[in-house]
Amino acid sequence: MNHYHIWVNLKDSYRDVEFARNVAAYLGWLKDRGKIAAWTLQRRKFGFSPDGFGEFHIVVGTETLAQLDEAFMAVAPREGEIQTLHAAVYSMVTDFKSALYRDFPDEVRKVERPQ
């Protein structure tokens, strides 16, 4: 599994529930169409996080990098329903940071098993 991590702050913290609804609509659209496998939205608790990380953390899971590319290709044209859903999310955020991780060891890694 590939995990696309996103950290953001909100431009207006009073719109936090609206942001959560918008993320659910946007990522739900992608998940319902098989463009992503899973997603979560988390909020920092008690201010605990490394310096520079946003208050909100989104993790998008994909089975393959090809699936992640399909998700990007669905959004990249910036038209139609997905553009409306995407704009509702990105227009609310600032301080965007992202990272891409994979489960480890993954299926392609040869690992010697203890005997």
Arithmetic mean of pLDDT, 95-104: 96
The pLDDT score that the predictor gives to residue 66 is 96
Please state the φ and ψ torsions of residue 57, each to the nearest 5 degrees.
Answer: -130, 120
The pLDDT score that the predictor gives to residue 71 is 97
Would you say residue 98 has pLDDT above 80? yes
Would you say residue 112 has pLDDT above 80? no
State the pTM of this model.
0.90
